[in-house]
Amino acid sequence: MPLFTAIIPSYNRADLLRLTLKSLAAQTFTDYEAFIIDDGSKDATPEVFKEFAGKQGWNFIRFEENRRQGGCRNYAMERAAGDYITFLDADDLWLPRRLEKFADLIGRNPAAGFIFSNGYILREGRLTSKFFDERRAVPRGKLPPYMAISDKWLPYVTTNVAFKREVLAKTGPFRQDLSHLEDMELYVKILRDWEADFIAQPLSVYRIHGLSANPSSLTLKWDDGIADFRAALETAAPPEAAGRELKDYVYLKQAEVYLKNLQPGKAREYLFLAASRGPVFLKLLSASFLPRPALALLRVLYGLKRKAAPSSDAAMAEAEAWVKELENSR
């Protein structure tokens, strides 16, 4: 049996999926199987499948009707043979040593049922940042389940995650009544019984979509995400103080997201859901009353500053060069 089962659902992302599959094919560690699922796409996804047909251990599945991300993942998990389940979203990339480094961690700490790594963020064609500073004191070991909610304690995204397949016997699959964060809700249940561990090195590239570039992106359906956050919170049943801390953290972050996307009214809606009235609340509240042109100007200036800032991180520069090479390869 393989060590990993990699699961890649895709819906109408043929061009990005091609790059994603190139990154999977570039893995230095090959003891894995893959389920690549066309979730009822209407674009050229079947043609992309043909380009990669015949790769050993790669299973290509097509659904005529859209089952959404959770449905695709559940289908593959039911058929998975790997000891660990891991995910690669169809618009993201794995750096070549991603599976190799995860296998190394598993060898060092087989007690960990939930593991994740750092990753780079790709925005507007550039690697702009990491999920967390490698020096950050991220907790590991046996943790309260609520720590799987948001990135407050565990800074992961599902493209950076792997978990033991055997956990599913107790947790069950992804909930399909959730539209957005069914993964987070499952990870809460995993942490009830299993240890967590992580790799501080960035091993993936996570793509951030702009509102204008991809208005249908799942990551932009923020109100749905908040509804799923509350469902995960209910599953975790944290102590009152931790629950309040989590709500404040998530609501203030969501308010900031709405401000960056020029929706100050929605930002204030989330600000007043938070119990906190500290400096962050006051800063965001003040910004929410700026005229829309002023908010737009601040966003443009921030974007220009980010693009102009040279990276002093050699590893990030190397990863960005690899991404460009992948994009230019035939």
Q: What is the DSSP string of 91-136?
A: T-EE-TTHHHHHHHHHHH-TTEEEEEEEEEEEETTEEEEESS-TTS
Looking at the predicted structure, is the pLDDT value of residue 219 above 50?
Answer: no
* Per-residue confidence band for 303, with pLDDT thresholds at 50, 70 and 90: low
d(C-alpha 204, C-alpha 217), whole Å:
20
At 175, phi and psi to the nearest 5?
-70, 130
Mention the CATH class of domain 4-210: alpha beta
Would you give the distance in Å from CA 222 to the centre of its chain?
Answer: 14
The enclosing H or E element of 201 equals strand 195-208
Q: What is the pLDDT of residues 169-191, one digit of tens each?
A: 999 999 999 988 999 999 999 99
Neighbours of 102 (CB within 10 A): 25
Query: Do residues 43 and 14 lie in contact, with contact meaning Cβ atoms separated by under 8 Å?
Result: yes
pLDDT of residue 330: 67
pLDDT of residue 63: 95
Looking at the predicted structure, is the pLDDT value of residue 8 above 50?
Answer: yes
Average pLDDT over residues 108-113: 96
Query: Do residues 187 and 160 lie in contact, with contact meaning Cβ atoms separated by under 8 Å?
Result: no
d(C-alpha 156, C-alpha 39), whole Å:
24
pTM flag (> 0.85): yes
* Per-residue confidence band for 45, with pLDDT thresholds at 50, 70 and 90: very high
Q: Where are the domains of the chain?
A: 4-210, 218-308
Q: 167: number of CA atoms within 13 Å, CB side?
A: 25
